[in-house]
Amino acid sequence: MSSFGSSAKRVEDPVLLRGEGKFTDDIHLPGLLTAAMLRSPYAHARIKSIDTSTALELDGVHLILKNADLALEYTTTELPLMVPNPLITKPVTPHMLAKDYVRYVGEPIALIVAEDRYIAEDALERVIVDYEPLPVAGDFREAVKRNAATAHHEIEDNVCAEFVQAFGNVDEVFANAPHIYKNTFFQHRGAAHPLETRAMMATYDELSDHLTFYAASQSPHRVREIYAKLRGIDDNQVRVVVPDIGGGFGAKGQTYPEYFSVAAAARLLRRPVKYMEDRRENFTATHHERDQLWTAEIAFNDDGKLLGFRGTLLHDSGAYVPWGIITPYIAASTVPGPYLLPAYEMKVTCVLTNKVAVTPVRGAGRPQAAFTMERMMDTAALELGRDPASLRRQNYIPADQMPYKMGLIFRDGSPITYDSGDYPACHDKAIELSEYDSFKERQKAARSEGRFIGIGIASYVEGTGLGPFEGANIRVAPSGKVTIHYGASAQGQGHQTVFAQIASDQLGVDLADITVIGGDTQGCPYGIGTFASRAIVNAGNAVHQASEAVRQKIIKAASYMMEAAEEDMDLAEGSVFVKGVPKMSRTLGEVAEFVNGKPGFTLPGGIEPGLQELSYFTPKQAAYANGTHLAEVEVDVETGYAKVLRYWSGHDCGKMINPMTVEGQVLGGVAHGLGNALFEWMRYDENAQPVTVNYGEYLLPLASDMPHVQQVHQEIPTPQNPLGVKGAGEGGTIPAIAAIIGAIENALKPFGVRISEAPITPPRLLELIECARKN
Amino acid sequence: MTTMHEITLKVNGADYACEVEGRLTLADFLRHQINLTGTHLGCEHGVCGACTVLVNGKTARGCLMLAVQADEAEITTVEGLAVNGELNDLQQAFMEHHALQCGFCTPGMLMTLTELLEENPHPKEQDVREAISGNICRCTGYQGIVAAALAVAEQRDC
């Protein structure tokens, strides 16, 4: 039976369920010291002096590092811009530890290393920093104005990039369209909030001049590259290892400043040093996605055909742009979504503020884009007197137009080409699942009982599986067991199971005999990382290619060993055998031993040493996933609490390797979107002081907030890769905010409430209800 | 100079006599002093529930309790659930129902549900959701966790 396509139970689970996982903070190395980070309490200030003398007197304190100390360790203390773009006019990146200035609350200033965390924090309180507070660029809507306080003292204004994404003749469309609707949307997304905060530990071996860096990183090879580059050393002098990770959701994909001071401390002290971020630090210093302000205009003809879309996007970049302008760029290129759109224009302005940097969180700007488009679709449906679902369906790109050139250029520089999918069919599946057609009756019945329920719908397209590549290194040992090293790392996606499923079919080996190891730069020489819904496409296909090659090597060697034709061979149950002749069989272990050779003897003709293959998969372009979600909510008009009662997802991520884990990804994504729609708000005051720094002030969705989510899948394989797979990690989040808020608006239709913001918290919803009641 | 305190306690059936600092949390004691790292710390302010353990059979936040307060107590952590490495029915159900992804919140979830199923052997879905509403999971959307708990309740009935 094929393992591909089956809901195999996860091989990761037993260890985690027994509490025997090895997360970074679970690793106790001999001689381990613990660090704490001194962080800026000011959003913008000049550091006049730092006095560490009293702190150093404390028993158990080993070292305190400041920027000047790191300047001796690295060629520069300024971090590189990870994704440069010529559109960025102010390519500002942070220092490993602040150099003279701090530009957001939480910016690292000094690293304190002590016997344990308790002592390190005692020492933290004894460091005396003399600050000169500077004017603050707080709210991004103010910061963009001329003469606003600047986020960096040396810049003239806060605009760090401006660009336009456009196609078609927008002016002409809007000059002639019979129906034009306008709106403005303030959208806030909080942060990633993995349950495990950022975690790192470094250990240095003086004898071999080699650093091993343990990090809860989504992108271990990037960490290795940047570390080696900034130290001016060869990359074989550093190994980055990713232990178990307690969730990432984008935030752990960044190469953070803290990595470098921790690594330096381990080298200077010749002892392992660990740093675990605490939750308050996670709120202030782990990157957010935060604020965007959109204006939008949509044009239709009399028959409900979409003619054009134009608008502006103001994006809060935070104090630095370490990941460039990826988030707003993706946002601006996602708005057209699944629709036949003749003309489009989005003018984007990115503005610096004195807040922590904005980099991708699950969805990476796409949820905001989908919200903008889908809210405009709802507005149009209302104004045109059309059903929101049927208006959407009328305007989808039909399946026979695939591959479809959407008109924009994606962030990899290639024209956006939707490669596959049947959007109307996927929509129909979701509609059917949700019993949409009978909703109006349910709504009527509820209203007669004084209950306000509503339904919302949202569709999306997501470019997944971007390159450049991911690699897999597969080896069959003389034990017959298979080891797969791949370049990225897992944060809960189930890579160990799913990649083993891919190899299992090719090699005829049980899942139990396959070990999958990610996140070790020593296991796979090059890698990019697990983010942007790319691991299954890139690493999954690399595993497929490498196992195919190993399969051929097995067949070739077995053919020689058994003197039988290669084309007669097959693999199953850990053996290679001649089809129809069960006696003619060798275990993979025997073949592995054979190709490992004997000292002094030449391998017979054409047989390569070792059952091993390192293969990289390099996609030509993104593979486009899509979906349609529906949400049913009930609003308590007395409290403003919106409860999502039911939720449906129709989803196409191409071939599903493990439907159970795909559903898990979608579910988690929906929960993230629900949080963004109803609760999550990283608030700052006007001086850019964070005011939500714990889970009493910042609310995450709980089990009592989540509805039961029903899913239906459409499997249209992408032609972009041999497995036909598309990414599934972010699709759950992208339409969820729009669907839920659409449902709230629908529930409150009797009051005429219109919602142009996210999240919509209970107090705010009450305000809108009150306001609508007065009018 | 910090004062040290002698404590004796039972963790997962084993006896411990230890010297601890007054300010040491129970979670840090379990994790760093007796090396039971299955109890995780997600927020250290008592909201996320990842550090939930059973203290004399009742759930408690390991991050909000001091080790000295556990003197003479009986503690059960996630490491105490499996018997000879064999997953118990709740752990097994978590695996069957895909109730975990990254596995970081899982120990706290398991401990909370262990208590629930002890106190209420026939929970409704809403009871399960309320019981774990003090445990945050960022990966699963909770659906698999709820399904696992309900499945165990049903199994135990048979």
ipTM here: 0.98
Q: What are phi and psi of A537, to 5 degrees?
A: -70, -50
Q: Pinpoint the residues of chain A covered by CATH 3.30.365.10.
A: 288-466+620-774, 470-617
* B23 part of contact set with chain A, CB < 8 Å: yes
User: Do the Cβ atoms of A247 and B102 come within 8 Å?
Assistant: yes
Give the chain A residue nearest B127 (alpha carbons).
Answer: A704
Q: Concatenated DSSP letters for A692-737?
A: --STTTS----TTTPPEEEEEE-----TTSTT-B---SSTTTTTHH
- Looking only at the bridges linking them, the beta strands covering A306-318 and A343-352 are parallel
Which residue, among B64, B104, B113, would best test binding to A if mutated, counting the most A CBs under 10 Å from its CB?
A: B104
* A493 part of contact set with chain B, CB < 8 Å: yes
* Strands ordered across the beta sheet of A581-587: A569-572, A575-578, A581-587
pLDDT exceeds 80 at position A100: yes
Q: How far apart are CA A308 and CA A176, in angstroms?
A: 11
pLDDT exceeds 70 at position A132: yes
pLDDT in tens, B101-131: 999 999 999 999 999 999 999 999 999 999 9
pLDDT score for B158: 74
Distances (CA, A) of A479 to A504, A527, A607: 16, 28, 20
Residues 93-132 of B with CB under 8 A from A: 94-96, 98, 100-107, 110, 128-130, 132
* B29 part of contact set with chain A, CB < 8 Å: no
pLDDT > 70 fraction of chain A, expressed in percent and rounded? 100
Q: Pinpoint the residues of chain A covered by CATH 3.90.1170.50.
A: 13-134+193-285
* A1 part of contact set with chain B, CB < 8 Å: no
Distances (CA, A) of B118 to B57, B61, B129, B142: 9, 18, 16, 20
pLDDT score for A384: 97
Distances (CA, A) of A27 to A22, A377, B27: 7, 51, 15
Q: How far apart are CA A684 and CA A528, in angstroms?
A: 33
pLDDT in tens, A280-337: 999 999 999 999 999 999 999 999 999 999 999 999 999 999 999 999 999 999 999 9
Among the partner-chain residues B24, B95, B133, the one whose CB lies closest to the CB of A10 is B95
When pLDDT is cut at 50, 70 and 90, the band that residue A664 belongs to is: very high
Q: Considering the domain A13-134+193-285 in this protein, what is its CATH number?
A: 3.90.1170.50
Average pLDDT over residues A89-110: 98
**Structure tokens, B83:** 């018997």
**Structure tokens, A631:** 């949400």
Residues 46-85 of B with CB under 8 A from A: 47-48, 50, 77-79, 81-82, 85
Among the partner-chain residues B35, B103, B143, the one whose CB lies closest to the CB of A16 is B103
pLDDT exceeds 80 at position A622: yes
pLDDT score for A1: 61
Q: How far apart are CA A718 and CA A465, in angstroms?
A: 11
Class of domain A470-617 (CATH, top level): alpha beta
Give the chain B residue nearest A702 (alpha carbons).
Answer: B133
* A494 part of contact set with chain B, CB < 8 Å: yes
When pLDDT is cut at 50, 70 and 90, the band that residue A412 belongs to is: confident
Distances (CA, A) of A109 to A17, A40, A95, A114: 38, 7, 9, 17
pLDDT > 90 fraction of chain A, expressed in percent and rounded? 97
User: Do the Cβ atoms of B79 and A20 come within 8 Å?
Assistant: yes
The SS3 of residue A519 is coil
- Size of chain B in residues: 158
Q: How far apart are CA A335 and CA A460, in angstroms?
A: 9
Residues with Cβ < 8 Å from A767, sequence gap 6 or more? none
Average pLDDT over residues A371-379: 98
pLDDT in tens, A703-759: 999 999 999 999 999 999 999 999 999 999 999 999 999 999 999 999 999 999 999
pLDDT score for A414: 81
Bridge partners of A418, per DSSP, are: A404
* A697 part of contact set with chain B, CB < 8 Å: no
Q: Where do the domains of chain B lie, and which CATH numbers do they carry?
A: 4-80 (3.10.20.30), 89-157 (1.10.150.120)
Q: Choose between B132 and A601: higher pLDDT.
A: B132
pLDDT score for A542: 97
- How many C-alpha atoms does A750 have within 13 Å on its Cβ side? 13
When pLDDT is cut at 50, 70 and 90, the band that residue A582 belongs to is: confident
User: Do the Cβ atoms of B38 and A491 come within 8 Å?
Assistant: no
**Chain A positions in Cβ-Cβ contact with residue B32 (cut-off 8 Å):** 28, 116
* A574 part of contact set with chain B, CB < 8 Å: no
> Looking at CA atoms only, how far is residue B126 from chain A in angstroms?
8
Give the chain B residue nearest A658 (alpha carbons).
Answer: B98
| Topology, domain A288-466+620-774 | Aldehyde Oxidoreductase; domain 4 (3.30.365)
pLDDT exceeds 80 at position B1: no
Unique residue bearing structure tokens 């879309």: A309
**Structure tokens, A466:** 């971007």
pLDDT score for A184: 98
> Looking at CA atoms only, how far is residue A707 from chain B in angstroms?
8
pLDDT score for A410: 78
Interface A-B: count of C-beta contacts within 8 A: 172
